[in-house]
Amino acid sequence: MQMTIMEKNHFLNCMIFWRSTHRRNRQIFCAAGFILKNTLSENGGVTRGVCQVNENGYLTGIDETKNIVKVGNKAAVQKEDGQEPIDENSMYR
């Protein structure tokens, strides 16, 4: 599956993709991805599925990451022994 950044009309784009492909190949899947920094909360940590993609933009894995916090204009995973920075431009689903 190739990841595409869909900043507007996420669900509409997924529906259009699904309708145009599902009859030809039932093994094609689609997921809307969002930029992590656009989904962080001012009110505490969030859990997100952070996506890994290869050099061709194809999804290779999703890591469920808990307690992602906003630190200024950056992001970090809050752990018992401190914070571990995370790329705020990461894709999640």
The string of pLDDT tens digits covering residues 24-69 is: 666 777 777 788 888 899 999 999 988 888 888 778 888 899 999 9
CA 74, CA 53: separation in Å to the nearest integer? 21
pLDDT band at 85 (very low <50, low <70, confident <90, very high): very high
Q: Look at residue 67 in the predicted model and tell me its pLDDT.
A: 96
Beta bridge partners of 76: 69, 85
The neighbouring-strand residues paired with 52 are: 61
- The one-letter amino acid at 93: R
**H helix intervals, the chain:** 10-21
Structure tokens at 81: 């022994």
Q: Is 50 in contact with 3 (CB distance < 8 Å)?
A: no
